[in-house]
Chains A and B, each alone.
Chain A
């Protein structure tokens, strides 16, 4: 298989308490963002953080995996809506750790019932490389709820 490489650049100036970082998506150029300590551990105040970027990575990885599982089952999704919440906590003796990643998936999937959607979500969790990585040191949870499409209730 091909090796895929993606890069990000950060420039940090000053101390951690008072300094500020600038983050650039070097491969795609899709974003350039400021970040800092106060907005990482306190209120975000419009700034991203490593944990928010992990949430975006996990949500997008899992969502692609779920789309793939549903297509494989013959029921490609009309729409998936996935929210990922990453929790960082201070653990006695081990410092700050990412302790949890919670995935909440909702989907409009013609031809699939709730049980099939849950099974696809479980398979997507198994197949998403990021679920495996973060699951090695944090608790990953998945909830899956089928929603009514524009055409009416779930099939």
Chain B
């Protein structure tokens, strides 16, 4: 069992107030400012819950794919993944788009796509986000 924590503070109302991701358990980042404006309008250098979900999903997917490729005897030299999260205020997260480009010696395109599809279905963050209406995958060898 693995536990990970994050602490956020907020002052004031939603639209006029401001928040901060004060610290995370690992100490890897923080403090990071978050505001409603930077979430719903332009980021202006500030992160948002949706960007953090994109980061969680891209990192989880990449590890799952790396693991599947290594188990198949064709470890990846390099994987480059982008996760794009679409958020509609009042509705929620409507879409996550995963794009991956891989450098994998000895593997053909179809097999890479098959492994990527498996990672998309099987990684823990994908399972946690299974209620998102649309999760897409664009996978190709670099």
Interface residues of A (CB under 8 A from B): 1-17, 19, 21, 23, 25-31, 33, 35, 37, 39-41, 44-61, 63-68, 70-71, 76-90, 95-98, 129-130, 132-134, 136-138
Other than the given A45-B26, A50-B124, A59-B21, 18 more pairs (CB < 8 A) read A6-B43, A8-B59, A8-B82, A9-B82, A26-B51, A31-B55, A47-B26, A54-B52, A59-B8, A64-B39, A70-B13, A80-B8, A80-B10, A88-B124, A89-B1, A132-B92, A133-B132, A136-B130
Mostly helix, strand, loop or mixed at chain B's interface? mixed
Q: How large is the interface on B (under 10, 10 to 19, 20 to 34, 35 or more residues)?
A: 35 or more
User: Do residues B84 and A7 form an inter-chain contact, with CB atoms below 8 A?
Assistant: yes
Contact partner, B78, options A4, A13, A82, A84, Cβ 8 Å: A13
Inter-chain contact count A-B, CB under 8 Å?
A: 323
- Do A53 and B55 touch (CB < 8 A)? yes
Give A69 to B43 CA distance when docked, in angstroms: 23
Chain B positions 16 through 42: 1 when the CB is less than 8 Å from some CB of chain A, otherwise 0: 010101001111110010101011100
Roughly how many angstroms separate A66 CA and B55 CA in the complex, as a whole number?
Answer: 23
Q: Is the interface of A mostly helix, strand, loop or mixed?
A: mixed
Among residues 103 to 121 in chain B, which have CB atoms less than 8 Å away from a CB atom of chain A?
none
Q: How far is the CA of A98 from the CA of B129 in the complex (A)?
A: 10
Interfacial residues, chain B to chain A (CB-CB below 8 A): 1-14, 17, 19, 21, 24-29, 32, 34, 36, 38-40, 43-63, 65-67, 70, 75-94, 122, 124-125, 127-132
**Are B8 and A63 in touch, CB under 8 angstroms?**
yes
Closest A residue to B124 using CB positions: A96
Q: Is the CB of A5 within 8 A of B1?
A: no
In the assembled complex, which residues on chain A have CB atoms less than 8 Å from the CB atom of B38?
A: 28
State in angstroms the CA–CA spacing of A23 and B28 once bound together.
12
Residue contact A80 to B9, C-beta cutoff 8 Å: yes
Q: Which residue of A lies closest to B17 (CB)?
A: A67
Contacts of A30 in B (CB 8 A): 32, 43, 45-47, 51
Contact residues in A for B132 (Cβ distance below 8 Å): 133
